[in-house]
Structure formats: C-alpha cells, structure tokens
Amino acid sequence: MDDEMVARLLALNRRFYGAFADEFAASRSISDPALTAILPYLPSTARVLDVGCGNGRLAVLLDQQRPGSTYVGVDAVPALIEEARSQAQSLMRTEAAFAVLDVAEDGWTQAIPSPCPATSAGLPFDCVVALAVLHHIPSLDLRARVLRQLAGVVAAEGRLIISTWRFLAHERMHRKIVDWLAVGIDESQLEPGDYLLDWERGGRGYRYCHLVDEEELGELAIASGLTVRETFVAGGREGDLSLFAILERGSLTES
C-alpha cells in the first residue's frame, strides 16, 4: 500500500471518529466485557498507557478496581480526548493525564505526558493497553511500526494488552461491510484483509478496518520483539467479537 492511500485511510477514520465522537463515546461503557476482560491482567497501582483511549473509560475502571494507579490516555481525536478529560474529573483514586496524539505519526511517544506533576516522566509503563486500535492502522508495515513503538514504552517486566475485532466471525458484523466505492476507493489499491464498515447511529459513517487475525498478530509480535503469552476472545453480543492478546517483552525461547 502506498503512502498516499495510507494517509487517505487514516484521514477517513479521523473524520469518522470526529463526526461521531459523542455517539461512539455513549456506546462504550465501563461495564463492556470488551473492557472488563482485561482487568485480571492489570496489576495493582500500575502505570498504564491507554492508546486510543476514546472517552477514557479505562481510567474510570482503574479508579474503581485498581486504586492508586497512574494513567495516561492518548487518542488522535480531540473530541474524544475532551470527553475523556471531562469524565476524568470524577476520578478519586487515580492520577490521570490525556493528550491528543496519533500513533500513526512519527515521534508520538516523545510527547506522552506525565500522569501527575510529581512524576517527571511517564516512560516506561507497567502496562500499555491498545484496545480496538491496531485494526484501524492501514498497511502491514505501519502496523508493525506502531507495535514496535508500543513495545518501546513498555517496562522490561511489563505487558502490552492488544485487542482487535473479529468482524468476520458473525453475520451481524458481516452486514456492516460495504463496498469501497462508497468512499471512492479502488479496492485493488488495498491489502488483503482491508474492509470498509459502516455506522448508522446518529447518522451514517464509514470506517477502515483490517482483519488482524491471530496469525498476523503473532507475526507482528515477533517482529516487535514481543512474546504472545496468552490469547482469548471476549466482547460483543456474541461474547467473542474481539481477539485479545497479552504480550510481553522478550523472545519466544524464554520460559
């Protein structure tokens, strides 16, 4: 995939999430199994980076279930960061900071804020969370680069928690797939596994999604110096809409 198409797909998703920020945030609660499924993998009083944080619901979950944690949420959509900051005003036991940062752009890790004034630097993090993010990154090369950058901000003994949509697993999601001509894109310019999904809540919009399956996730992990320690499925009406992977730094030969 050439750079022009990568930029076009990224812009498509930014427009979508900017236009439907309120509707999207309202559809993502802290009781969502696609969020609560990661709770067993979040240590107490952890330093957490939430990439693609949306409305910051993970900060609220940490405040309730992992008091004493520090949290940084980043997202490419200013409207979602505004919603996250507003929601974070209710936090009682969690230090939180937010920033508009796009993981698809070079140098974003250098702008990660500190979660509280007493902390001079946020890096590295005990836990980096990227839920429903990787499948919105166009091109295999860019997905690999993003995962390497995420690996670079995880502490040596920390972990990276990833989820991607299994949107071909159920007919309900199949019905959301539309022809690329809806947004004037020639499918021949895309990579295998690239799809266009529609949204019909509060209006109609379109999102680029790539099917990141377990095989591709494993290949990306190896290329990033990460080990896949565990995978599982959770979320959605069917209970298995998202593929989750728990990754750690180190080689596959480690015990």
How would residue 29 be classed by pLDDT, with cut points 50, 70 and 90?
A: confident
**Distance of alpha carbon 56 from alpha carbon 186, whole angstroms:** 35
Is pLDDT at 203 greater than 60 in this prediction? yes
Q: Could you tell me the pTM of the whole model?
A: 0.91
Which of 104-108, 119-123, 199-203 has the least mean pLDDT? Answer: 119-123
Q: What is the pLDDT of residue 250?
A: 65
The CA distance from 243 to 212, in Å, is: 9
Specify the DSSP class assigned to residue 116. Answer: S
Q: How many CB atoms lie within 10 A of CB 180?
A: 17
Segment 98-106 shows an average pLDDT of 94
Tokens 């427009």 belong to 15
pLDDT score at 252: 39
Residue 52: CA atoms inside 13 Å, Cβ hemisphere, count? 23
For 133-166, the pLDDT digits (tens) are: 999 999 999 999 999 999 999 998 899 999 999 9
Domain-wise residue ranges, the chain: 3-249
- Report whether pLDDT(117) > 70: no
Looking at residue 123, what is its pLDDT?
65
Residue 253: the pLDDT is 35
Please report the pLDDT score of residue 21 as a whole number: 80
For residues 129 and 36, give the distance between their C-alpha atoms in angstroms, rounded to a whole number.
Answer: 12
- Cβ–Cβ under 8 Å, residues 230 and 245: yes
Confidence of residue 104 (pLDDT cuts 50, 70, 90): very high
67-to-32, 74, 78, 86, 226 alpha-carbon distances in Å: 19, 20, 27, 19, 28
Q: Which of 167, 162, 219, 171 is nearest to 195 (CA)?
A: 167
CATH superfamily, domain at 3-249: Vaccinia Virus protein VP39 (3.40.50.150)
Q: Tell me the H-state helices in the chain.
A: 3-19, 21-26, 33-36, 57-65, 78-88, 140-152, 171-174, 214-223
* Nearby residues of 47 by Cβ (< 8 Å), 6 or more positions away: 69, 70, 115, 122, 125, 126, 127, 155
Q: Which residue, 81, 121, 122, is CA-closest to 100?
A: 81
